[in-house]
């Protein structure tokens, strides 16, 4: 059995410990090496390249940050796939990470099952000779982030995270669209330690803000076929499902480098 060996570079000992604990139960994925900051990470990258297959990288760390590590990897032509795990989602940072060749970008908090899924997908591409995931074009999370920002949803309000999570859930499991209230809201509430009522209200508030400050032409393009945008804002369900469908259609288009 081919085992994927992980190199975790993260200054948060608790986060590293949880990752190690989770993958102890997964026979074909193993945390082989860890580093507590970017400086140590770079040293181990140079010395132990044969001892790991994939890197889990935090961005905000002491001494040298994740960007410096990515720059080192690019400069030294180190052919290892990198999954960036961070709570920092500023667009300029995402662009920088993309340009430095990261394979995937996941926002904290994330589910370990989702991380496992990404690792398996990247490993499958590696073992079958596939290409790296292009962060900007093929990363579901980044696509959702870009769309929400264009629609005017502020990233600092709770509803932003809830909508982002909801779109990802509908994208991955279209059947859940028939159970927004009974399935989607409770799942989001459980993940973010909230309640279904607060989740519903936060999403509604985010949509109202979006409707007042977003790109009107984009709104017309996305929602014009499903509602009369001059008379009414979309419901929570319409908003989430329509964006998920839009992104799904985009992913079906042939990928080309711009």
Query: Does residue 91 carry a pLDDT above 70?
Result: no
CA distance linking residue 192 with residue 78, whole number of Å: 36
The sign of the torsion formed by the CA atoms of 188, 248, 210, 87 equals positive
Provide mean pLDDT across the span 116-128: 76
Integer-rounded Cα Rg, in Å, for the chain is 19
Within 56-134, where are the H helices? 66-75, 91-99, 112-127
Complete domains list, the chain, with CATH? 4-134 (3.40.50.2300), 141-251 (1.10.10.10)
Residues 248-257 have pLDDT tens digits of 776 544 333 3
Query: Does residue 86 carry a pLDDT above 70?
Result: yes
In this predicted structure, what is the pLDDT of residue 227? Answer: 55
Provide mean pLDDT across the span 3-28: 95
Contacts of 226 (CB under 8 A, 6+ apart): 234, 238, 242
In this predicted structure, what is the pLDDT of residue 112? Answer: 92
Q: Tell me which DSSP letter residue 54 carries.
A: E
In this predicted structure, what is the pLDDT of residue 252? Answer: 47
In this predicted structure, what is the pLDDT of residue 257? Answer: 35
Query: Does residue 141 carry a pLDDT above 70?
Result: yes
Which tokens hold the place of 112?
A: 């370990």
34 confidence band (pLDDT: 50, 70, 90) = very high
Mean model confidence pLDDT for the chain: 84
Contacts of 200 (CB under 8 A, 6+ apart): 181, 185, 236
135 confidence band (pLDDT: 50, 70, 90) = very low
Residues 151-182 have pLDDT tens digits of 999 888 999 999 999 998 888 787 888 889 88
Provide mean pLDDT across the span 52-70: 93
pTM of structure:
0.55
More confident residue, 56 or 252: 56
Residues 192-210 have pLDDT tens digits of 999 999 999 999 999 999 8
CA angle 243, 245, 247 (to 5 degrees): 70
Question: For residue 197, which phi and psi values (nearest 5 degrees)?
Answer: -65, -45
Within 76-195, where are the H helices? 91-99, 112-127, 135-138, 140-150, 158-172, 185-191
More confident residue, 112 or 139: 112
């Amino acid at each position: 059995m081919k085992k994927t060996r992980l190199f975790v570079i993260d200054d948060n000992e608790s986060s590293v410990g949880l990752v190690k604990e989770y993958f102890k139960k997964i026979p074909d994925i193993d945390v082989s090496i860890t580093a507590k900051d970017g400086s140590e990470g770079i040293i181990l990258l140079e010395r132990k390249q044969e001892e790991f297959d994939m890197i889990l990288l935090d961005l905000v760390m002491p001494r040298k940050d994740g960007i410096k590590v990515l720059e080192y990897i690019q400069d030294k032509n180190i052919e290892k796939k990198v999954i960036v795990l961070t709570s920092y989602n500023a667009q300029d940072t995402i662009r920088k990470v993309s340009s430095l060749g990261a394979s995937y970008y996941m926002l904290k908090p994330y589910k370990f099952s989702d991380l496992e899924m990404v690792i398996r997908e990247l490993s499958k591409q590696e073992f079958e000779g596939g290409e790296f995931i292009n962060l900007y074009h093929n990363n579901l999370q980044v696509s959702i982030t870009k769309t929400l920002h264009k629609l005017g949803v502020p990233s600092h309000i709770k509803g932003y995270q809830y909508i982002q999570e909801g779109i990802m859930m509908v994208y991955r499991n279209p059947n859940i669209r028939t159970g927004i209230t009974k399935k989607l809201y409770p799942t989001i509430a459980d993940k973010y330690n909230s309640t279904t009522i607060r989740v519903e209200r936060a999403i509604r508030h985010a949509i109202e803000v979006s409707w007042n400050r977003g790109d009107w032409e984009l709104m017309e393009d996305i929602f014009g076929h499903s509602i009369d945008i001059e008379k009414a804002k979309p419901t929570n369900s319409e908003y989430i499902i329509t964006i998920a469908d839009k992104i799904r259609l985009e992913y079906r288009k042939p990928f080309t480098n711009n």
